[in-house]
Amino acid sequence: MLWSEISTITHRFLDIASTLLVFCIGLAILALLWMYVVDRNQTKQTIRRNFPVIGRFRYLFEHLGEFFRQYFFAMDREELPFNRAQRVWVYRAAKNVDNTVAFGSTRNIHERGNIVFLNCPYPTLDEDAVEPAPLTFGPYARQPYTTSSVINISGMSFGAISRPAVLALSRGAKMAGCWMNTGEGGLSPYHLEGGCDIVFQIGTAKYGVRDLDGQLSEDKLRAVAAHPQVRMIEIKLSQGAKPGKGGILPGAKVTPEIAEIRGIAVGHDSISPNRHKDIHSEADLLDLIARVREITGKPVGIKTVIGQSGWLDRLATEINARGSASAPDFITVDGAEGGTGAAPQPLIDMVGLSLREALPVVVDKLVEYGLRERVRVIASGKLMVPGNVAWALCLGADVVVTARGFMFALGCIQALQCNRNTCPTGITTHDPRLQYGLDPADKAVRVASFHRNLTHEVGLIAHSCGVPSPRELQRHHAREVQDTGRSVPLDELFPHPPVRFGPRAVPSGQD
C-alpha cells in the first residue's frame, strides 16, 4: 500500500514537472522569437541587427570582461589603475594581518622606471628609529598648524563618496592622528563627527562658501573656519585626473542634503567651472591666498597639476617681490595619474605631467627662488603603497596624501563604477541599500590600521637606507631603472638647482 502511494505521488510529480518543463521551453522559444524580432528591427546596434539574439552576448561579455580580467586572467602586476599586488597589500594592511610574502618578488626589478632604494651596510636599529618630526604649516597665519603625520587623506567630496564612507574616514583619521581633506564638496557634519583634523578645500565652484552668484562668501568662509577642527584651507586650481576641467558630480548623486551643503539644485549635474573666475594671474592668486588667510586665520595653500611650468617662475618672482609672507603655505602637487569619481577620458588619459616629473619641478623651483623652507610640498598621485610614498619623500615632498589608498581600506574593489551611483561597496553611492554594507565603526578601524602599517613600512625603507625617519630620505637614497636595465641615482636624474633668487626682506609689521 505504501509503495503504491509513493508511486502515485511520484507519477503526479513527474507529470507536473514535465508540464512545467514544456511551459518553460515554450516561454523560452517565445522570448527568443521576441528578441529576434526586436533585434532585427532596432537600428541602434549593428551587431544585434545583423546577428539577432546571438549578438546580445557580445555586450554581455564586454560587460563581464573587466571582472573576469580582474579576478581570473590578469597577472598580479598587470592591471591599471592599481594591480592586484597593490590592492592586496592595502587590504591586508587595513585588516592588520600578516603582510609578509614568501619565495620571491613578482615585481620585475629590471623594468624601466622602477625605483630601487639603496640600503646601507649599517641600517638604523629599531631602538634608534625616531618618529617623524613635527612639521608646521603657515608660520604667518594667526593659527599655524603643526602635525607629525607624513601620510594623510586626500580630497574626497561628500557627494563623490557616501555618508558612511565620510564617517569612517573621519573617525579613522582621528584614530590615526592624520588629517582629512574635504574635497571641493563643502564641509559636512560627517567630516566633523569623527573629530579629526580637517583641510577644507575651496574648489572652482566654491561649494559650501559661495554666495547666490557663486562668488566667495566671506561670512560662510568665516563660519567654516570657526570650527576648530578645520586646520588649513586648500584652494584647488586643478586636479590630476582632469586638469583644465572642474569637478563633476552626476545629478543622480545630488541628494537634497548634498545640494544644501553645496548650495546647488537637487538632482542636477554639479559641474564646477574649469578655473576660478576671480583668478586671472599669479598676482590674483596671491591676493586670494592673502584674503582667505586673513578671513580664516588659518594656513592657506594651493592644489595644482603641473603642465606648463612658466607660471611657477612668475609666481615665485611675485612672491619674492611681495615678501615671503605672501607665499602659499603649501603646494599640493597632484600628478596626472590622480583619480576621480568622474572625468572625460581625454583628460584622464592625456593631460598633465605625472607626479614623477611634476614633483621635482615644483621642489626645484622653490629651491631656485629661495622659498623651499617657506612653502611645504604635499605630493599626491597613486601614493598608497610604501615604495611610492618613500620615493615621493626622496624627491622632496614633506607630506604625501592618498585618496584611493584609503578607499581600498574602506573596502573598494576597483569596480570602476564611481560615476554611476552603483558602487557595490557603498563607498561612492547614495543608494541606502548599497550603503548598508559599509559599517563606519568597522571601517574606521581599518582606515587607522592602513595608515599605521603604511607609515611603519615606509619607515622600514628609511631605516634600510640608514636614516632614522622617513622625512630624512633624500634623492641619493634611491635610483631609477633606465631603458638599458641599469639604474641611475635620483640626484643625477633630478639635480637640485642652485639658489639664484631669494625673498626680499618682509617689511616691518608684516611678520
Fold of 126-139+151-493: TIM Barrel (3.20.20)
- Could you report the per-residue pLDDT of 77-108, keeping only the tens digit for each? 666 677 777 888 888 899 998 887 777 777 78
DSSP secondary structure, 92-148, as one string: HHHHT------S---S-TTSTT-EEE---SSPPPGGG--PPPPEEE-TTSSS-EEE-
Mention every residue, 6+ apart, whose C-beta is less than 8 A from residue 42.
48, 49
- Could you report the per-residue pLDDT of 154-207, keeping only the tens digit for each? 999 888 889 999 999 999 999 999 999 999 989 999 999 999 999 999 999 899
Q: What is the pTM of this model?
A: 0.85
Which residue intervals of 369-439 are DSSP H helices? 386-395, 404-410, 432-435
Q: Which of 164-203 are b and which e, b meaning 16 or more Cβ less than 10 Å from the residue's Cβ?
A: bbbbbbbbbbbbbbbbbbbbbbbbbebbbbbebbbbbbbb
H/E run at residue 380: strand 376-380
Q: Identify residue 408 by its one-letter amino acid code.
A: F
Rounded to whole angstroms, the Cα distance separating 196 from 398 reads 20
User: How would residue 509 be classed by pLDDT, with cut points 50, 70 and 90?
Assistant: very low
- What mean pLDDT value characterizes the chain? 87
Rounded to whole angstroms, the Cα distance separating 295 from 310 reads 30
10 Å CB burial of residue 306 (0-12, 13-18, 19+) is buried
Average pLDDT over residues 453-482: 95
User: How would residue 468 be classed by pLDDT, with cut points 50, 70 and 90?
Assistant: very high
User: How would residue 505 be classed by pLDDT, with cut points 50, 70 and 90?
Assistant: very low
Residue 510: predicted pLDDT: 45
Q: Is the pLDDT of residue 47 over 90?
A: no
Residue 62: predicted pLDDT: 62
- In order of 296, 302, 382, the CA distances from 278 in angstroms are 19, 15, 31
Residue 191: predicted pLDDT: 95
Domain ranges for the chain, please list them. 2-73, 126-139+151-493
Rounded to whole angstroms, the Cα distance separating 292 from 230 reads 13
**Higher pLDDT residue, 227 or 439?**
227
Rounded to whole angstroms, the Cα distance separating 401 from 179 reads 9
Cβ–Cβ under 8 Å, residues 87 and 385: no
- Could you report the per-residue pLDDT of 413-428, keeping only the tens digit for each? 887 777 778 888 888 8
User: How would residue 38 be classed by pLDDT, with cut points 50, 70 and 90?
Assistant: confident
Pairing outcome for strands 230-236 and 145-147: unpaired
Q: Is the pLDDT of residue 328 over 50?
A: yes
